[in-house]
Amino acid sequence: MSQKQWIAGINAVSAALEHDAEHVREVLIEAGAKNPRLVEIEANARRMDIDVRRVATQALEGVVGNLRHQGVVARYAAAKTWNENELEGLVEAAEGRALLLILDGVQDPHNLGACLRSAAAAGVTAVIFPKDKAVQVNATVRKTSAGAADSIAVIPVTNLSRTMRDLQKLGVWLYGLAGEAETSLYSLDLRGNVGLVLGSEGDGLRRLSRENCDQLVMIPMPGASGSGVESLNVSVAAGVTLFEAVRQRSMPVK
């Protein structure tokens, strides 16, 4: 069984049962475990007529390898595999209020999972990233995202620069985060069709991605000077930018 077909950990399995139980095929729980949350997961799964088995710790480790399973794993069939051809329909369905998170080459699965979790909480239209030279949605991403990886539109694309240009043709404004930019994120109007573009952990935005942004902006960091902190972690930056858009969109129109 491919590791990609399993999710591991109490939060990840709980989220799958709560938000997408129809795609949970089986739950494996460590035999003899007394954790009340594991008991709750078992009860919830049985109530939903999902197969539950108590197994040895070695069996759990054999399924998910080095992932920290916390005594529970679930065999999972993802709710939907999104295709890049569906992106236009998602933007049009948002009726002028599409909010897109575009990740240019994120490498760490924990960072991608955290970005997806923030994106789901912010109600994004889609998360977009390249199919190559970037981490894809795997078991670690699913666990870190606490179910978000399968509750929102996550769209790997063949050519990120081309996708960005296509989005602009659909009326989406693309704002790329760059530490050297002079314009503050907080000076933007993020209430319309907006794509927020963030680069990789080490190198930031690639040249073509920068060139295809309508504007480069920065997150003001008044405490950075002299502190040795040059930039925010990509998942933190994603949370900051997404929820600035959420804040603006929740304000009454004057």
Closest CA to 70 of 141, 9, 143, 140: 9
Sheet holding 72-76, edge to edge: 6-8, 72-76, 24-30, 51-55
223 is in an annotated binding site: no
17 is in an annotated binding site: no
Tokens in use for 176?
């790329």
φ, ψ dihedrals at 205, nearest 5°: -70, 135
199 is in an annotated binding site: yes
Closest CA to 232 of 166, 177, 171: 177
Question: What is the DSSP secondary-structure string of 163-209?
Answer: HHHHHHHTT-EEEEE-TT-SEEGGGS--SSSEEEEEEBTTTBS-HHH
Distance CA 11, CA 236 (A): 20
- Binding site as annotated, residues for S-adenosyl-L-methionine: 199, 219, 232
- Binding site as annotated, residues: 199, 219, 232
